[in-house]
Each structure stands twice: as structure tokens, then as C-alpha cells.
Amino acid sequence: MKPEDRKIIDEFRARADGMSDDILAETEEWLGTVPFIFKLMRERPESFAFSVLGDYHTARPPHLDAKTAELVAIAAAAGAGADKCVKVHVGAALKEGATRDEILDTILIAGVMGKTRILAPALRAFQDSF
């Protein structure tokens, strides 16, 4: 790694503890809560700050508005079976102007897509058997 890049990383690491507090405060403002995984990860400020800042910027991409990003988060959480995340992101989607019907449709679409997780491999195995 280039020395100038190493210096930037070292400076980041030195500020990770304070940044972690800022991240938790901003997360609470954004989502209305601080996910328990964040609270536990916060015990390791350097890892927490590096990880969560990347996640934060990925979850608020420049090419999607906040409401759409929250609807995508709901669909992904539903598909992952992360019911607590669904609940958190439903609240965030409402805050960003999503309607009940938009959220319900998002969850229903995720459910339709989720069926393929079961059907695709099972039907391939079935087809291969005959």
C-alpha cells in the first residue's frame, strides 16, 4: 500500500471511536432506532466504522431516491428472512413518504421472488431425476 494511503487509513482508525458515535446518532435519526447488531459491532470501533460507512453509502445510492432505496431494503430484508430489518425499514420507508400499499406490494413481490429459492433447485433436481 502506498504510504499516503496508509497515512489516511491510520488517521481514519485514530478517529474511529468518535465516528462510531456519530454513526450511531445518524443511524437513529435515519431509521428511528439503532439496530442491535450496530450496538454490538460498536465495541470494535475501527471495524464498525469501516463496515457501516460502506453499508450506509451503499444503502443510499446516488441513483435512487431515499423512498425507493427503503423499498429495496424491505424487499431484500424480506427475502433474507430478516423480520426485524423489515420492521425497521418499513418505518424508514414511511418516513421517506412510502405508502402502506407501496410497502405491501414490495413485500408481496419479494415473496413471489422468494419462491424461486425453493422451486428452482427443487424442480431442477426433480427434472434431473427423470
Residue by residue, pLDDT tens for the chain (130 residues) are 899 999 999 999 999 999 999 999 999 999 999 999 999 999 999 999 999 999 988 999 999 999 999 999 999 999 999 999 999 999 999 999 999 999 999 999 999 998 988 899 999 999 999 9
DSSP 66-98: HHHHHHHHHHHHHHHT-HHHHHHHHHHHHHTT-
Q: How far apart are CA 99 and CA 93, in angstroms?
A: 8
Q: How far apart are CA 109 and CA 16, in angstroms?
A: 39
> What pLDDT shows up at residue 28?
94
Q: How far apart are CA 50 and CA 93, in angstroms?
A: 25
CB atoms within 10 A of CB 88: 22
> What pLDDT shows up at residue 43?
96
Distance of CA 20 to the CA centre of its chain: 17
Maximum Cα–Cα distance for the chain, whole Å?
Answer: 61
> What pLDDT shows up at residue 117?
85
Q: How far apart are CA 95 and CA 82, in angstroms?
A: 20
Whether residue 74 contacts residue 106, with contact meaning beta carbons closer than 8 Å, is answered with yes
CATH 1.20.1290.10 fits 63-130, yes or no: yes
Q: Return the domain boundaries, the chain.
A: 1-59, 63-130
